[in-house]
């Protein structure tokens, strides 16, 4: 194996298949909702998305999978190490299995380094704050941890119109806000509340209510109706996105968005259940999302 001019040159099929298999396995194990769409991409774009997904998981796992005894300073150091690895990868010197896969696809797909570094900044926010007072503050967090991933994805999918960036932002916001609505109880277990405190107060829901699991009342129902409605509006605004990207990536994007929109629907239908346990789509709804994506249906129908 050798590197030159920022490009990884791999000699030996065993090395290639090893890191390709690693990132593919990671995507299917850790990104079940996304992987339904990934499988619909042509082979080259699929490999690129698997590599990008693995690279995006690493800083997220550094923060979320660390044990209780790991200090914030140590986690920042690990994130610094990852930034160094990204810099070396873009210079043609990857040192990890995941970044070897990333370096291989960088030869064809212009995945922006700034987006991967922005994602790290978003992960640092999780170390530095656990509450968001306003939606504007939360929106900045979403820009770093979700819209960056849209920028990465669009570099792989291929765009036909400059407006694709804005539509991609809407889809990224929709996916991230769906996660936030779905994971209120799970995030609370990590002492994190992503729902803006200003909005909790507006609907009469206190942090003490969340901690005590008092979410069966009208106040929490109204709050979640509002939050899920905002996410749904972003799905609606993202409807034009598939028509703005290359044809061979459209089914994948439609399926990924359709899967998440159905997750959002289940959260909105029963926010109390979502608070107490992770929402998963039954097999029939996954199949419906795939069929709808293949038929070219919008994320949100009117």
CATH assignment at residue 50: 1.10.600.10
Q: Is residue 124 part of a domain?
A: no
Query: Cα–Cα distances in Å, from 13 out to 9, 17, 92, 94, 117?
Result: 11, 6, 19, 17, 30
Q: What pLDDT is attached to residue 2?
A: 33
How many independent structural domains does the chain possess? 2
Do 97 and 205 belong to one domain? no
Do 105 and 253 belong to one domain? no
Q: What pLDDT is attached to residue 12?
A: 40
Do 198 and 290 belong to one domain? yes
Q: What pLDDT is attached to residue 28?
A: 63
Do 98 and 135 belong to one domain? no
**Tokens standing for 32?**
């079940």
Mean pLDDT estimate for the chain: 90
Of the ranges 32-36, 167-171, 287-291, the best mean pLDDT one: 167-171
**Rg of the Cα trace of the chain?**
20
Q: pTM, whole model, 2 decimals? A: 0.90
Do 61 and 91 belong to one domain? yes
What percent of the chain is predicted at pLDDT more than 70?
Answer: 91
Per-residue pLDDT tens digits for 83-122 = 999 999 999 999 999 999 999 999 999 999 999 999 999 9
Q: Is residue 292 part of a domain?
A: yes
Q: Does the pLDDT value for residue 67 go beyond 80?
A: no
Q: What pLDDT is attached to residue 134?
A: 98
Neighbours of 92 (CB within 10 A): 16
Q: Pick from 43, 35, 101: which is nearest to 252 by CA?
A: 35
Instruction: Quote the CA–CA distance of 226 and 137 in Å, as a whole number.
Output: 17
Q: What pLDDT is attached to residue 29?
A: 63
Q: Is residue 122 part of a domain?
A: no
Domain carrying residue 135: 129-302
Q: Is residue 297 part of a domain?
A: yes
Calculate mean pLDDT across residues 232-236: 98
B/e letters for 217-244, b = 16+ CB within 10 Å, e = fewer, are eebbbebbeebbeebbebbbbbbebbeb
Query: Cα–Cα distances in Å, from 65 out to 4, 70, 155, 232?
Result: 34, 10, 28, 29
Q: What pLDDT is attached to residue 302?
A: 60
Do 135 and 220 belong to one domain? yes
Domain boundary among 110, 141, 161: 110
Q: What pLDDT is attached to residue 17?
A: 60
Q: Is residue 152 part of a domain?
A: yes
Do 179 and 289 belong to one domain? yes
Instruction: Quote the CA–CA distance of 102 and 80 in Å, as a whole number.
Output: 18
Do 157 and 47 belong to one domain? no
Q: What pLDDT is attached to residue 20?
A: 77
Q: Does the pLDDT value for residue 233 go beyond 60?
A: yes
CA dihedral 6, 10, 15, 16 (to 10 degrees): 80
Q: What pLDDT is attached to residue 21?
A: 76
Q: Does the pLDDT value for residue 58 go beyond 90?
A: yes
Q: Does the pLDDT value for residue 125 go beyond 60?
A: yes
Is residue 137 within 8 Å of residue 199, measured between CB atoms? no
Do 69 and 176 belong to one domain? no
Q: How many residues does the chain have?
A: 302
- Sequence-ordered list of residues with C-beta below 8 angstroms from that of 183, at least 6 positions apart, any chain: 194, 278
């Amino acid at each position: 194996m050798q590197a030159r001019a920022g490009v990884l040159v791999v000699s030996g099929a065993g090395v290639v298949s090893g890191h390709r298999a690693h990132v593919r396995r990671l995507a299917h194990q850790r990104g079940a909702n996304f992987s339904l769409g990934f499988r619909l991409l042509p082979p080259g774009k699929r490999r690129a998305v698997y590599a990008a997904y693995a690279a995006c998981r690493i800083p997220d796992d550094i923060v979320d999978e660390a044990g209780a005894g790991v200090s914030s300073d140590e986690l920042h150091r690990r994130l610094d190490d990852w930034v160094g690895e990204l810099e070396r990868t873009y210079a043609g010197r990857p040192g990890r299995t995941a970044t070897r896969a990333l370096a291989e696809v960088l030869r064809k797909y212009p995945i922006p380094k700034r987006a991967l570094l922005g994602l790290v900044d978003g992960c640092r926010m999780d170390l530095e704050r656990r509450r968001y007072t306003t939606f504007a503050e939360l929106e900045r967090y979403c820009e770093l941890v979700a819209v960056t991933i849209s920028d990465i994805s669009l570099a792989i999918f291929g765009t036909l119109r400059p407006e694709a960036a804005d539509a991609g932002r809407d889809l990224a916001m929709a996916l991230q806000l769906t996660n936030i609505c779905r994971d209120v109880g799970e995030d609370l277990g990590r002492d994190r509340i992503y729902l803006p405190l200003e909005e909790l107060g507006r609907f009469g829901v206190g942090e003490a209510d969340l901690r005590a699991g008092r979410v069966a009342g009208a106040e929490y129902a109204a709050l979640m109706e509002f939050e899920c409605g905002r996410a749904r509006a972003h799905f609606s605004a993202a409807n034009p996105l598939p028509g703005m990207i290359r044809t061979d990536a459209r089914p994948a994007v439609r399926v990924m968005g359709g899967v998440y929109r159905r997750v959002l629907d289940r959260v909105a239908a029963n926010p109390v259940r979502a608070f107490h346990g992770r929402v998963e789509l039954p097999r029939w709804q996954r199949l419906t999302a795939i069929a709808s994506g293949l038929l070219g249906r919008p994320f949100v129908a009117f």
